[in-house]
A and B are shown apart, each in its own frame.
Chain A
Amino acid sequence: MSASQISPEPGRRSGALLSMGLTAALGLGLLWLIWTRGHGLSWADKLALIVSLMCLASAIRIGLESLDPRRLSQRMSLEGESTPAETAQVRLQAGVVALMGVVIALPPLADMLGWRAPEVIYGVFLAYAAIRIVYARHVLKTADEFVRRRMERAALVIMMLFQTGLLLVAGAERLGLIGPVSGWDALVCLTTLAVLTPVFLQSRRQAEA
């Protein structure tokens, strides 16, 4: 019998503390890097690092929660304990989110740490793109109508916000009102929306419940 089964509260608290501790360590490390070596970073690079931290923090939290089937079940608002299939699904999702956090941080990290291997880093981008395609196919194949509806809603909000932002920024750029905007800038903004929108929608659902 695990400690969390004897008394779930201490286990939950230690898990939350561990999650916060790891996130704080990552955040402090990132702040130190930006402070000491991040002078040449663009706003998009700094935002990419923040998004990366959010992805990694979320993956750590979910990964730790998945160690306790009862806690994971509660997080998903379900009865009893999470099933092995549900746990595996959540861990897979956390893994993909963590990978996204690593990939989006690589270009600014490479600049800050002086890594001169763009081909290798681009190889990581290619590998991640392949993983994303396989993961998306798996999710679309296994998701039921409720999960699909949630994904569709999030995708619609992300597309609407990104398209509106792009309309305003690209229009201003074409008219010479602002400086050039790169594909990297757009990717970082889109990733930020992709990370924040589901969190916002979930908090709204919980508030409505």
Chain B
Amino acid sequence: MKNRLRVLRAEREWSQADLADRLGVSRQTVNAIETGKYDPSLPLAFKIARVFEAPIEQIFDDEQETA
């Protein structure tokens, strides 16, 4: 699943550590999500949406649906 996490983080000038702190996860998790190696759970996806104040579908893109 593609996502705009890195872009959104860069827009706010947050480091991976800043975002990890806000989400209550490790930097490894943030990196794994950003690089598409890991799709977050639904609770974490909602948390990400809340942190960036954006709907989930604006952050995550289900390629299968758009293909």
Q: Which residues of A contact B (CB under 8 A)?
A: 76-80, 83, 86, 144-147, 149, 205, 208-209
Q: With A83-B17, A145-B44 as known contacts, state yes or no: A78 contacts B37, CB within 8 Å.
A: no
Interface residues of B in 1-41 (CB under 8 A from A): 15-17, 24-29, 31-33, 35-38, 40-41
Tell me the bound Cα distance from A77 to B29 in angstroms: 11
Nearest B residue to A208, CB-CB: B37
Give the total number of A-B pairs whose CB atoms are below 8 A apart.
47
CB of A147 within 8 A of CB of B31, answer no
- Interface band, chain B: 10 to 19
Tell me the bound Cα distance from A168 to B54 in angstroms: 53
CB of B38 within 8 A of CB of A78, answer no
Tell me the bound Cα distance from A54 to B38 in angstroms: 28
A122 to chain B, nearest CB (A): 37
CB of A147 within 8 A of CB of B15, answer no
CB of A78 within 8 A of CB of B28, answer yes
Question: Which residues of chain B are within 8 angstroms of A83 by Cβ–Cβ distance?
Answer: 17, 27
CB of A78 within 8 A of CB of B25, answer no
Cβ 8 A contact of A78, one of B31, B33, B40, B44: B31
